[in-house]
Amino acid sequence: MSKLIVYGDIHGCYDELVRFRQKIKPQKNDIEICVGDVITRGKDSIKALRYLQSNGIKSVIGNHEDKLIRYLKHQKKDKNNPITLDEDEKDIIINLNSDDIDFLQNMPLFLRFGKIIVLHGGLQNHQNLDKLSKKDRAKILRLRFVDENQNFVSFGRENEESIFWADVYDGNQGFIVYGHQYFKEVKQTKNTLGIDTGCVYGNKLSAVIFTNTQTKEFSIQSVKANVA
Ligand SMILES: [Mn+2]
C-alpha cells in the first residue's frame, strides 16, 4: 500500500531534506507533500524548490510563497509595488526561472487525502474548505491564534487569552496536518498534527507518514538540522 508522507516547513534546508529522504526511502507509489514555506530564511531556497520539482514532491502554499507570488503579480502592473522584500526574498526572486514560478503559482491552498487535510497555517471551526472567501484563504495561510470567541488574532496581537487554533479545532473538516508554527516537538491534538519543528532554526525537520489515510495511522520521523 502506498504511503502519504508530509514534510514540515523546509525553509531552504535543502541538505536536510535530501538526507531525510535518504532515511525515509520513499517508494515509487508513495505520495510526498510539503506543508508550505519551502523557501526563504534558509540558505538553499532555490535548490529546495527545484529538488521538489525534480522528485515529484508537491507542496501546499505557505505564507512565504504567497508573498512572492503577490509580489510578482504586482510587478506586472505599472505601479509601485506595495510589497517590500528583504534581501533573501530579492535574491530568490531574481533566481526564479519560469518553471519555478509555475510551480509556485500552482501550489494549492490545501490538499485532501481521505480524512486528512494538509494546509500551511490553520483552520477555524466555522471555515468550510469548499466555500472559502479570499479573506479565508489569507487566514488559512497565517492562522496561529484565535480569541475566546474563536475570532482570528492577527500576528503580534496575541495576549494571554489567545488560544492556539489547533487546541480548539473540532475536526469538522477532517484531520489537519499543518506547519507555520514552530514547535520543538511535533504537536499532536485530537484532530491535528503540527509538524514544523524549526529545521531552519537549528532544531529538526519532521515528517508524518500515513500508512492508511482512512484510519489515520501514522508515524513521525525527523532528522536533525545541520550544525551551522
Ligand atoms: Mn509560515
For the chain, which domains are there? 4-115+182-224 (3.60.21.10)
CB 118 within 8 A of CB 33: yes
pLDDT reading at 212 higher than 90: no
pLDDT reading at 11 higher than 70: yes
Calculate how far, in angstroms, residue 199's C-alpha sits from the geometric centre of ligand 1: 13
- Higher pLDDT among residues 125 and 1, named by residue: 125
pLDDT band at residue 215, thresholds of 50, 70 and 90? confident
* Among 163, 160, 9, 36, residue whose Cα is nearest residue 110: 36
Calculate how far, in angstroms, residue 182's C-alpha sits from the geometric centre of ligand 1: 9
Extract the C-alpha cell encoding 193.
498534527
Axis crossing angle, helix 63-75 with helix 87-95, rounded to the nearest 10: 70
Cβ burial, residue 97 (10 Å; 0-12/13-18/19+)? exposed
pLDDT in tens, 98-117: 999 999 999 999 999 999 99
Spatial distance between the Cα atoms of 20 and 131, rounded to a whole number of angstroms: 36
Extract the C-alpha cell encoding 34.
510539503
pLDDT band at residue 3, thresholds of 50, 70 and 90? very high
pLDDT in tens, 113-158: 999 999 999 999 999 999 999 999 999 999 999 999 999 999 889 9
pLDDT in tens, 41-55: 999 999 999 999 999
The position carrying cell 490545501 is 110
Spatial distance between the Cα atoms of 56 and 53, rounded to a whole number of angstroms: 5
Calculate how far, in angstroms, residue 10's C-alpha sits from the geometric centre of ligand 1: 10
| pLDDT score recorded for residue 216 | 87
H or E segment and range at residue 16: helix 14-24
Extract the C-alpha cell encoding 30.
508513495
Calculate how far, in angstroms, residue 141's C-alpha sits from the geometric centre of ligand 1: 7
Calculate how far, in angstroms, residue 1's C-alpha sits from the geometric centre of ligand 1: 31
pLDDT band at residue 228, thresholds of 50, 70 and 90? low
Calculate how far, in angstroms, residue 7's C-alpha sits from the geometric centre of ligand 1: 13
Spatial distance between the Cα atoms of 154 and 145, rounded to a whole number of angstroms: 8
Calculate how far, in angstroms, residue 77's C-alpha sits from the geometric centre of ligand 1: 26
